Amino acid sequence: MADISVSIISNDNRELVLSCLDSIFKTAAGMDIEVIVIENHSADGSAQAIRGRFPSLRLIENEKKEGFSANHNKALKVAAGEYVLILNDDTVLHEGALAAMLKFMRANPGAGAVGGMLLNPDGSPQYTGKDRPTVAAALMISLGLHRLFPGNPVTSRYFLRKGGYGEVEEVESLNGAAMMIRREAFIKVGPFDEKFFLFCEDVDYSIRLKEAGYRLYFLPGAKITHYRGASTGGRRIVWIYHRSLFHFYRKHYARGRFFLFNWAVYAGITMRLMVFLVYGNVRRRGGGAYGRG
């Protein structure tokens, strides 16, 4: 059995995915790793470039575009590692990141998953470990109020702004851009929910891991640069994002709430969708309420 199986979706990010793969093999000394790349029907020659530079990795080529959950599930079905690292194609591992995550998981058998310290290209931290989202936090983030009032207790709790991300912390939710999952936990919890094409699937899986009795941790010593927002989406991505919000709320929050409250939430998501379709966009790799980033 390999120490780590790395699952990556290559999605029209040729240069970024090559840099990501370079960083994996450069930082994996002393570990037995397997790398599985799902080439998501890219049109930029990614498959040929990956095959030419990294002939030893496992490359699965899709005949059509598929979502985050479906693609990683495809890799997880064949993964043989003791741990599985779900990794974005727009990331670069720093020296020691893989070793730190592997060491931590082996030393903490109650940990179902661990996330490293995600960094912007300028070295500033991204929101890596978060609290379980609340409806109030989602509303404030969706309206941009967390930027107007950065110190408010609702979203500060969600983003876990404790001590500048300097210490190991137990968290409620991990960012799917770089999340190492214990194989045993994946078998127990099951695959990613494929109703999430993109967005919210990492938070959903974090909740499921917690409900199965596992702990989640943020590990600042495992540093990973994340070029989030490297590609942006149009109207289709806007629709996918809000569809994920609908599914996430219905799955985790609607049951047991007064139906008028649920209708108000659904109406709010619909209104937000209409506004973004007319005036704006959402970042494909970034995040908003319930999303990665």
Query: Residue 19: its pLDDT value, please?
Result: 97
Query: Residue 166: its pLDDT value, please?
Result: 76
CATH H superfamily, domain 2-226: Spore Coat Polysaccharide Biosynthesis Protein SpsA; Chain A (3.90.550.10)
Query: Residue 149: its pLDDT value, please?
Result: 73
Q: Mean pLDDT in each 10-residue stretch from start to end of the chain (293 residues)?
A: 96 95 96 97 94 96 95 96 97 97 98 95 81 67 68 67 70 93 96 93 95 95 85 68 84 78 74 70 40 44
Query: Residue 206: its pLDDT value, please?
Result: 95
Beta strand 169-171 with 33-39: parallel, antiparallel or unpaired? Answer: unpaired
Query: Residue 287: its pLDDT value, please?
Result: 37
Q: Do the Cβ atoms of 146 and 152 come closer than 8 Å?
A: yes
The reported pTM is: 0.85
Query: Could you tell me the residue ranges of all domains in the chain?
Result: 2-226, 235-279
